[in-house]
Amino acid sequence: MNRAQMRTSAFAAVAVLAGSVLAACGSGSDAGGGTAGGDGGVQNAKVAFLMPDLASTRYELQDKPLFEAKMKQLCPTCEVIYQNADSDAAKQQQQANSALAQGVKAIVIDPVDSAAAATIVKSAQAQQVPIIAYDRPIPATPADYYISFDNEKIGSLIAQSLVDHLKAENAEGGILQVNGSPTDAAAGLIKKGIHSAVDPSGFKLLAEYDTPDWQPEKAQTWVSGQITQFKDQIVGVVAANDGTGGGTIAAFKAAGVKVPPVTGNDAEVAAAQRIVSGDQYNTISKPIKIVAEASANVAWEFMQGKKPAGKTQLYNTPSELFVPTVVTKENIKEVLFDSGIMKAADVCTGEYAKGCEELGIK
Q: Which CATH number fits domain 46-150+288-322: 3.40.50.2300, 3.90.226.10, 3.40.50.880, 1.20.1250.20?
A: 3.40.50.2300
Architecture of domain 151-286+324-359 in CATH? 3-Layer(aba) Sandwich (3.40)
CA torsion sign for 296, 20, 305, 42 is positive
Residue 271: its pLDDT value, please?
A: 97
Do the beta carbons of residue 222 and residue 254 sit within 8 Å?
A: no
User: pLDDT tens, 153-170?
Assistant: 999 999 999 999 999 999
Query: Which residue ranges make up each domain of the chain?
Result: 46-150+288-322, 151-286+324-359
Closest CA to 130 of 100, 102, 110, 93: 100
pTM, rounded to two decimals:
0.81
Residue 41: its pLDDT value, please?
A: 63
User: How many whole angstroms separate alpha carbon 71 and alpha carbon 302?
Assistant: 13
Q: What average pLDDT does this structure show over 333-357?
A: 96
Q: How does 284-323 read in b/e, with b if 16+ C-beta sit within 10 Å?
A: bbbbbeebbbbbbbbbbbbbbeeebebeeebbebbbbbee
User: How many whole angstroms separate alpha carbon 197 and alpha carbon 218?
Assistant: 25
The order of strands in the sheet holding 234-239 is: 204-210, 174-179, 234-239
Task: Indicate whether 35 pLDDT > 80.
Answer: no
User: pLDDT tens, 234-250?
Assistant: 999 999 999 999 999 99
Closest CA to 352 of 283, 279, 286: 279
At a CB cut-off of 8 Å and minimum separation 6, what does 33 contact?
Answer: 74, 297, 298, 300, 301, 308
Do the beta carbons of residue 359 and residue 276 sit within 8 Å?
A: yes
151-286+324-359 matches 46-150+288-322 in CATH topology: yes
User: How many whole angstroms separate alpha carbon 279 and alpha carbon 249?
Assistant: 7
- In angstroms, how far is the first alpha carbon of the chain from the final one? 71
